[in-house]
Structure 1
């Protein structure tokens, strides 16, 4: 079933994307980091100038791109990763050249540099087009009507946060709440009270399965909590939209080291392991340069991080910690003695510190084929290791294990301009992630119920102490994803019409079998010492979860530039989703409840959108 559906969706998606790839659409700012510079060149008499040479240089990267005007005097130049600030030089034989400084203002849909060349062969003064506010160069700017917050590398460098984890930046936005992680679940965030699964993370315009990146690799980050852009979808909570750096004509790099030492933290009087901080060493860096000037660029970055914190366990718990969990120190000492008598030393596998190692890297190659076509290839890789993990406060260190994960992906982006008016951008990304958790001891787990008298025998508490193996280990998981999108744009004087499509395929397989070696339960320390278990449970059937999901979307929209300070966006987005790997049919369930177990509902929805942005006090405004 899923195979036929997958084939159908792939064929439809491929056909749609092939249709979209035809030269039918416009120029403006597209994708995550691509700027479009356009304008009209005229003579003194108002007639358009044909074959005038236009040179646009990015003030950030020093990259220069060139184009010639058409019969209508118009030109369009695509500038990936330009930075938002440009110098435009326009020349024509027999006429004086014109120089224009362009800076992006607010959320302009495009950068327009119109010029009139005079017959007077004198040097023209520089024409500066700039905002009244401080230019925000190099960031992925918001779309009309959206609610979002943008962070540039310069801003992040001045903030007391770890920029290598995008979750730290998300929490600086209003209406965002942090959700802590654990040994078995990753940290996340909630927007408007929605679950973390309602959020999305994108890197360079496509879904990204992690929030950790080398800080030097990030060009800009936006936290979007509301949007009317038809190109954005697959989330109902919030979206982290980040873009990566590329190389420039000027060789440049940045390397940093940061240390957070627990000895330098002002701590309280409590010495419990639960109240201690951590020590973290982090080294990261990035370097980029031009391999061929104005044509081929490379950028690489990487990060190494080690974090050490005290691992709370029954072996190092103090009296105050035990009292909080309802266990007396005498009961714990007796538990240690009995366990040691069974040739299971309570301190086995004990490590005062829990180590968490993280390595990530990113490499990007940009090739400007000519003035109308560019190709970008990006590779990312990450690895993490936690040792030990899954040790409870009332558990012996032997119950823990190790947790490792690794993954990576490859992305390609191809952008083209046809006829000076039509623009097409295609993106594709494939990724795979794996995780593996192993126990220190492949033994049955043991649980002992302990009753303790607390607070001068006025309070009696019952707690459970654990030893032996871990009921949740071993575990293995693997996930893969493929996503591609294509967008065609067409630029008119005041409008940017766009038509696009998206196809996303994802699958996962997880072995989450629990209690595979069994668990002994003892009602008291006396029963534990006598070897009299009240129960023994064990899972004999493996629990392997598999799933597949297909998402597809088509959208059409327009951005109307009524004035420079007033822009409107409107359109509609059609989305559909389907789950694969249906369970087997159970006739008994259908007979009893009238429902088929092999049927998984799919979803199709249409989202009409309308939004605007009015920059009060901007150029051309009130």
Structure 2
């Protein structure tokens, strides 16, 4: 351990020295910042060296002076994204060239082609209008969601990263607010002002999606969405990158105060709420203030926001194998135990059906930022954001749950998120710029148990009956995790001739501390109501009618620490006036912790292999047909980070530090319900499962390519058409090394609804008796067996604000395919890594991904008309000052796969055949219907319109009020987000169809927990 630490320190030191002495670096935009570049030529097209270039932003106090080099090129990297920039180019003997009031967006370098005319022709050439919409220096498929959109589009819950869904090659991953790029689940990176603010344990945004937001909308200026083919500066993502820029103060004093309110008066009822419109209300209020402490030198910005919400959740159970189709009662005909036993069991479950669970939220946020520019060569920035969230019964955020989890899998949610940044930008010479950043991040998720929701009869036991949860949550209490990160980033940018080069180092160390013993109270699983009733009461003979019992023992406290070193080099080379080449390489190395204990029977449990050759080359080329048309193409390799949840599972998978058992009712030592085991001593043989990493275990990665054609149609409108390609490799999968050779082939009879045999299905089997190591149950090897494929055509149409109108249209046709179809939103939760239908045969499950959405279109627009130039009070307060905006989303249905419910014990399907686990072939893997294609069912199409109408009240020239009314899914076009996938029930070797397969079971949405219509009113005061 000491040797590894010494090696790490030496490597960090060497790389820091290399960064300090290396000159190659680029006048490209730095993460969280922007840039300006250009080429100066005379009327004949010849380069003009020595031209004086002056870049100003008076409100920000920015003044950057430079000269064009021998190739006529100038660059100004590391600029704060903002509006109000002006650029002047002058040279003796030529007329001045000037462009005013243009905007720089995060992550983009604004490129100008400057033509200087001789002085006799004109005194000053002023370029009218905004900066060009197309640029030959930008890389990949990206889009910026700007301040106008953030301030004026309808946004539910004021969580700005929801706007990511307005961009191409993106879809929602589940119903909790997660986002997928190019069919890749949980592969994204989240940055704030360029620093990493990803919760790397789950590989999600800070605070995860149970919270409304971890930073106020009013503290965000804009953010950049990198969908495909981004530059070598960005890493730790095989999916996409979301780079948020916070607001800063200016020379002028500006402030806001706001209040958003809603209640159930105008809310629609969720289609699965059984007609109940729960008494919900929400207040969101806050204020911001920004200005100059010393003009042109020292600026500040502060924001604070509070959220108070009451949103009780409805616990329901709709299960065709247990309840009536409406989920209102359990038919007595489904229970064949004694009358007394059936009555007791049915009453126990029905007391948990259609229950309104009280739930509230209290959230407090604060953000502060200081910017100091002591002179034109140096600038410093310091910022800090903090969020506290507390929500009793708030682990489950949905409005309605139809699987029993509002009571049986709920807890009290507490989240503490803190992060800060300190940066120093130094202009060493006009062509050499350094940016040094430090980042600190802490995210603590601590969730006490909601014991008041536990059933009195079974206390802390977790129970499932026919797949529905009816007991107590087994995950709580927990702190999972408390994560803290320190990060140092150094970027150097240098312009030399027609090359803009860049070199950078990114070092971070992340610690995760956990306190959880998952399933410490024990769990029982029953196939049907009859089996549960026979165990629940009147069990005088000690019978065991459950399918499985599971429980965990051991130390709940565990921790781990990872350290990452990333280095990159990038060059943007202006080969000619028409051709620009961008190429670079990135190297990523993660120093993985190792398990503290090892299972002597399986030495693999003592080691987590790490990858040493994560080199990621990236290149793109742009061909500039003219000032309005650019063709670009690119390719690159992108590695996912090794997230902490997976590492934690491998640490605990040795069966020593924590011991998790799972046994069936026939194994020796199996308890009688409701008893659990008091100690891990003397556990039944074959009840413990192990988990470890495969030899050669490595980071998943994606290969990405794109071809794009950008065209500026008018001065304010541009169109981009792109082909996007991606292939994912090394996606985490899982293979049971304890399954031995195939047993006999068995044949299931397939029946129709009338009870007639219509077909058969034959399959080889995995037998309990053929286990490789009878001392254990599953021996799971986590490996890199999954692959994915993504092909898409994307169109983006953008119109900048002019004549009171701005809009963006995005359309993507895509097809996402993978061999790890069970991933979706849960692939980063290590206990649910994909098990194939047939052990290790991942190709058998190749098909349309659960994230496949063939068509997705979004339209957002803002109209702020000025009907009259009259300045009378009537015109100012009644006629003018209106704003209308909407976001329209249209998307095709995603595929789901039908499943088989296994009834009875593992030995009850065929005489003399004792399957290893309760699936058709005994593998214990994916329980999909194996004779139907993957993704055979469709969930639902999406069509929704979110709208906003605002009215500006100009109290004075500087003080204005805004009345706002917002409606989300205003036409209440509700859509299913989950369906009944249970197509067959397997019993005694017969597959019988289950009614209502494909019917909807949930209509959830983020952040309200439903996609039913919600409306709110607001008032803002701006000065």
For Structure 1 versus Structure 2, the TM-score category normalised by the shorter chain is 0.7 to 0.9
1:436 aligned partner: 446
1:190 aligned partner: 180
Counterpart-to-counterpart distance in 2, 1:336 and 1:164? 48
Q: CA deviation at 1:143?
A: 5.5
Q: CA deviation at 1:207?
A: 1.3
Counterpart-to-counterpart distance in 1, 2:593 and 2:410? 35
Using a 3 Å threshold, how does the CA distance of structure 1 residues 551 and 273 change in structure 2: closer, same or farther? farther
Q: CA deviation at 1:215?
A: 1.2
Q: CA deviation at 1:240?
A: 1.0
Counterpart-to-counterpart distance in 2, 1:7 and 1:321? 62
Counterpart-to-counterpart distance in 1, 2:300 and 2:395? 41
Matched, 1:597 2:606: yes
The structure 1 residue matched to 2:513, chosen from 487, 501, 509, is: 509
Contact kept, 8 Å, 2:83 with 2:103, in 1: the verdict is yes
Q: C-alpha offsets along residues 45-100 of structure 1, whole Å, 9 cap, x if unaligned?
A: x99889x8x764316x35242658799999976663252652356899x9999572
Contact kept, 8 Å, 1:276 with 1:310, in 2: the verdict is yes
TM-score w.r.t. length of structure 2: 0.49
SS of residue matched to 1:12: helix
1:549 aligned partner: 562
Q: CA deviation at 1:204?
A: 1.4
Counterpart-to-counterpart distance in 2, 1:47 and 1:397? 72
Matched, 1:484 2:478: no
Using a 3 Å threshold, how does the CA distance of structure 1 residues 273 and 21 change in structure 2: closer, same or farther? farther
Counterpart-to-counterpart distance in 1, 2:463 and 2:382? 56
Using a 3 Å threshold, how does the CA distance of structure 1 residues 62 and 261 change in structure 2: closer, same or farther? same
Q: C-alpha offsets along residues 174-197 of structure 1, whole Å, 9 cap, x if unaligned?
A: 32221235xxxx64122222121x
Using a 3 Å threshold, how does the CA distance of structure 1 residues 115 and 187 change in structure 2: closer, same or farther? same
Q: C-alpha offsets along residues 323-381 of structure 1, whole Å, 9 cap, x if unaligned?
A: 4559428899x999979x99xx969xx86542234333322111113211111111111
Counterpart-to-counterpart distance in 1, 2:240 and 2:172? 13
Counterpart-to-counterpart distance in 1, 2:573 and 2:128? 21
Using a 3 Å threshold, how does the CA distance of structure 1 residues 143 and 215 change in structure 2: closer, same or farther? farther
The structure 1 residue matched to 2:303, chosen from 296, 301, 304, is: 301
Question: How is 1:162-177 mapped onto 2 (pairs within 5 angstroms)?
Answer: 162=156, 164-177=158-171
Q: CA deviation at 1:395?
A: 6.9
Q: CA deviation at 1:579?
A: 1.4
Counterpart-to-counterpart distance in 1, 2:136 and 2:261? 34
SS of residue matched to 2:82: coil
1:408 aligned partner: 418
Counterpart-to-counterpart distance in 1, 2:318 and 2:90? 77
2:378 aligned partner: 373
SS of residue matched to 1:231: coil
Question: How is 1:135-150 mapped onto 2 (pairs within 5 angstroms)?
Answer: 144-150=138-144
1:282 aligned partner: 284
Contact kept, 8 Å, 1:230 with 1:573, in 2: the verdict is yes
Using a 3 Å threshold, how does the CA distance of structure 1 residues 480 and 578 change in structure 2: closer, same or farther? same
Matched, 1:569 2:573: no
Counterpart-to-counterpart distance in 2, 1:155 and 1:19? 41
Counterpart-to-counterpart distance in 1, 2:238 and 2:230? 12
1:427 aligned partner: 437
Counterpart-to-counterpart distance in 2, 1:410 and 1:524? 53
Counterpart-to-counterpart distance in 2, 1:268 and 1:400? 20
1:201 aligned partner: 190
The structure 2 residue matched to 1:362, chosen from 364, 367, 375, is: 367
- Which ranges in structure 1 are unaligned for 5 or more consecutive residues? 451-461
Contact kept, 8 Å, 1:176 with 1:190, in 2: the verdict is yes
Q: CA deviation at 1:270?
A: 6.6
SS of residue matched to 1:232: coil
Q: CA deviation at 1:543?
A: 4.3
Contact kept, 8 Å, 1:507 with 1:549, in 2: the verdict is yes
TM-score w.r.t. length of structure 1: 0.77
2:963 aligned partner: none
Using a 3 Å threshold, how does the CA distance of structure 1 residues 619 and 327 change in structure 2: closer, same or farther? closer
The structure 1 residue matched to 2:148, chosen from 141, 150, 154, is: 154
- Please provide the CA RMSD for this pair: 4.8
Counterpart-to-counterpart distance in 1, 2:394 and 2:251? 46
Q: CA deviation at 1:408?
A: 0.6
Q: CA deviation at 1:545?
A: 4.5
- Which ranges in structure 2 are unaligned for 5 or more consecutive residues? 199-204, 207-212, 631-710, 712-1023
Contact kept, 8 Å, 1:261 with 1:278, in 2: the verdict is yes
Q: CA deviation at 1:149?
A: 1.9
Q: C-alpha offsets along residues 402-427 of structure 1, whole Å, 9 cap, x if unaligned?
A: 11111211211111111322111112
Contact kept, 8 Å, 1:278 with 1:308, in 2: the verdict is yes
1:456 aligned partner: none
SS of residue matched to 2:519: coil
SS of residue matched to 1:439: coil
Contact kept, 8 Å, 1:131 with 1:619, in 2: the verdict is no
Counterpart-to-counterpart distance in 2, 1:142 and 1:305? 44
2:61 aligned partner: 63
Counterpart-to-counterpart distance in 2, 1:297 and 1:132? 27
SS of residue matched to 1:21: helix
Q: C-alpha offsets along residues 162-214 of structure 1, whole Å, 9 cap, x if unaligned?
A: 38324411222232221235xxxx64122222121x11111111211236321
The structure 2 residue matched to 1:244, chosen from 246, 249, 256, is: 246
Counterpart-to-counterpart distance in 2, 1:169 and 1:238? 14
Using a 3 Å threshold, how does the CA distance of structure 1 residues 500 and 114 change in structure 2: closer, same or farther? farther
Contact kept, 8 Å, 2:434 with 2:492, in 1: the verdict is yes
Counterpart-to-counterpart distance in 2, 1:596 and 1:472? 24
Contact kept, 8 Å, 1:448 with 1:465, in 2: the verdict is yes
1:558 aligned partner: 571
Q: CA deviation at 1:505?
A: 1.9
Q: CA deviation at 1:429?
A: 0.8
SS of residue matched to 2:553: coil
Q: CA deviation at 1:147?
A: 0.7
Contact kept, 8 Å, 1:28 with 1:109, in 2: the verdict is no
Question: How is 1:11-26 mapped onto 2 (pairs within 5 angstroms)?
Answer: 11-22=10-21, 24-25=23-24
Using a 3 Å threshold, how does the CA distance of structure 1 residues 407 and 78 change in structure 2: closer, same or farther? same
Matched, 1:610 2:610: no
Contact kept, 8 Å, 2:316 with 2:404, in 1: the verdict is yes
Using a 3 Å threshold, how does the CA distance of structure 1 residues 365 and 335 change in structure 2: closer, same or farther? farther
Counterpart-to-counterpart distance in 1, 2:411 and 2:140? 45
Counterpart-to-counterpart distance in 2, 1:142 and 1:525? 70
Question: How is 1:319-358 mapped onto 2 (pairs within 5 angstroms)?
Answer: 323-324=325-326, 327-328=329-330, 352-358=357-363
Contact kept, 8 Å, 2:97 with 2:127, in 1: the verdict is no
Counterpart-to-counterpart distance in 1, 2:196 and 2:6? 22
Q: C-alpha offsets along residues 285-317 of structure 1, whole Å, 9 cap, x if unaligned?
A: 432111111111111223333444331226999
SS of residue matched to 2:389: strand
Moved more, 263-272 or 227-236: 263-272
2:460 aligned partner: 445
SS of residue matched to 1:611: strand
Contact kept, 8 Å, 1:314 with 1:394, in 2: the verdict is yes
2:855 aligned partner: none
Counterpart-to-counterpart distance in 2, 1:402 and 1:146? 42
